[in-house]
Amino acid sequence: MPVPHEPARAAPMENRLYGQGARWPGPTRSVMNRYLAYGLCILLALLSLALSFHWPAWGWLAGLFGALALLGTWDLLQTRSTLRRNYPVLAHFRYGLESVGPEIRQYFIEGDTAEVPFSRQQRSLVYQRAKGVMDVVPFGSQQDVYSVDYEWINHSMAPTLVDSHDFRITIGANSTQPYSASVFNISAMSFGALSANAIRALNEGAHRGGFYHDTGEGSISPYHLEHGGDLVWEIGSGYFGCRDEQGRFSEERFVQNARLPSVKMIEIKLSQGAKPGHGGVLPAAKVSAEIAATRGVPMGHDCVSPARHSAFSTPVELLQFVARLRELSGGKPTGFKLAIGHPWEWFGIAKAMQETGLLPDFIVVDGAEGGTGAAPAEFIDHVGVPMHEALLLVHNTLVGLKLRERIRIGAAGKIISAFDIARTMAMGADWCNSARGFMFALGCIQSQSCHNDRCPTGVATQNPGRWKHLDVGDKSVRVQQFHDNTLKALRDMLCAAGLEHPQQLGPEHILRRVSPVEVRSLATLYRLLEPGELLDRIPAHAVFQQFWAEARSDAFNPPARVRALQDSKC
């Protein structure tokens, strides 16, 4: 009798997932794997305890495994971490490995040229120059000279001979107290972000080498004044060192600091590259007596840096504030630092200069690649214009208005080597600042612990148990030698290019590979405005064509067209 046809049965789930003949691990095996370490700790603790009655040395193991068993029990009972509940004891091994991950990658995995954010090659160059040891490279370049974005400077068949490497520029030539600045200086880093001994060493190094030390917005601490190094006093939105009890700008307190002999220039901080448009709060618990006295804030209260200034609210008012500070300081060069964001806001400042005739003595352009002690990840990675494009925009605007010869431009953003300085000056800067470069000179090892007060080298911490071990005398020499040897390398590079001063550098000197088969100079890669071009017409430059005509000197507000686009999304 024929057997009725039976429909085909679906393969068991474990066969479909794990292959024919395989067995599904099942919940029992999974639980055993997850709790195996915890169970072994309990078992070994009991075994060791029993053996310790006959052999006391086993008591040590009983204590060790007992502690691990208690840790596993706590993992099971706590509710904050699901990982620890599912993997008692074992989860801590993951946390341990994760905690040393950055060090493992930095010392054993990263390549010499991997910039995260600074490569081992870059750091080594600073260490060698700071220590005054041989910084030559054997056997050949580690750079891939055929990779896209590789850059170089062309040499000359008629090299020059320049004796001095002390390249300087005059800032505020028309002010009462013009300042002769080195082309390489210490960028803004506050006391509070850096330790007392780090500030001392930087300032003494600046004094030894004849270059300036920017105070950062944390104001002028006693440590900035101990060794007599030149200071640029940076004033941020918190007006630290020149504020009244309500946090508003105080002319009286400003004059007290601005007229100190060590203060050579005044810099208004509009924004910084690492976290533009973002204020900050130093919690009350961290406001020590020293920081409170330096910043002019009360102890026991949060120290707040607002996201914007209260002393001005328009481009014209900003320039009036610049002029007022210059007057109050006794005629010292006064300017501002900014990270470029919305182009129309910078254009509004430029138009205000053109309309009022009120000019800053200098502008410092801070790139988005700049560093900071702590900032939200999104701000560090995705907010603000990088230095090259920001610098070119500022330089082009001033050239187009025929104001460039009257206003000096400084620039900051991952500047470490002589080539970094040369390229930045070729793109329009008169001088360069470096923060992390001088931190490396102090001994920073890029542990990236600036935000947790556990800096292993005593540079970026307020823990006296750490920063008191930083030897000021030794590190100040390293700061001076890093500056000195970097400028010697710059001089040698300029001589090879047939030049005598870094101000002779232009975009035509720097070459960049833009594809495997194409090389272009920066002069042909970027649109450069002619002197006075903005006075006659709007140039064929995308940013200027989009925003120049509608930028306003009386407000930082977006153009009507941009506002309409914003409103259309509401």
DSSP code string of 151-172: EEE---SS---------EEEE-
pLDDT per position as a tens digit, 58-103? 989 999 999 999 999 999 999 888 888 888 998 898 888 777 777 7
Looking at residue 300, its pLDDT comes to 79
- Structure confidence by residue, pLDDT tens digits, 531-565: 999 999 999 999 999 999 999 999 999 988 888 88
C-alpha–C-alpha distance, residues 134 and 505, integer Å: 27
Q: How far apart are CA 487 and CA 483, in angstroms?
A: 6
- Distance, CA of 551 to CA of 539 (rounded, Å): 15
Q: What is the pLDDT of residues 214-256, one digit of tens each?
A: 999 999 999 999 999 999 999 999 999 999 989 999 999 999 9
Q: Average pLDDT of the chain?
A: 90
Phi, psi of 362 (to 5 degrees): -155, 160
In this predicted model, what pLDDT tens digit does every residue of 26-66 receive, in sequence order?
566 666 788 899 999 999 999 999 999 889 989 899 999 99
pLDDT tens, 478-503? 999 999 999 999 999 999 999 999 99
Higher pLDDT, 529 or 6: 529
Q: Which DSSP symbol is given to 334?
A: E
Query: Which tokens go with 191?
Result: 């006391």
- Taking CB atoms within 8 Å and a gap of at least 24, the contacts of 285-290 are 286/192, 286/462, 288/462, 290/191, 290/196, 290/221, 290/222
- Spatial CB neighbours of 1, under 8 Å, sequence gap ≥ 6: none
Residues paired with residue 19 on neighbouring β-strands, in sequence order: none
**Do 73 and 89 contact (CB within 8 A), yes or no?**
no
Residues of the chain with pLDDT > 90, as a percent, come to 69
Contact 260, 329 (CB under 8 A): no
Token pair in block for residue 360: 């800053």
pLDDT of residue 14: 46
Q: Residue 150 has what pLDDT?
A: 95
pLDDT at 105: 72
Is it the case that residue 212 has pLDDT exceeding 70? yes
Separation in Å, CA 282 to CA 189, 225, 371, 566: 15, 23, 18, 34
Q: Is 319 exposed, middle or buried (0-12, 13-18, 19+ CB in 10 A)?
A: buried
What's the residue count for the chain?
570
Helices (H), 78-119: 82-86, 90-99, 101-104
Span 286-344, pLDDT tens digits? 778 888 899 999 887 878 889 899 999 999 999 999 999 999 999 999 999 999 999 99
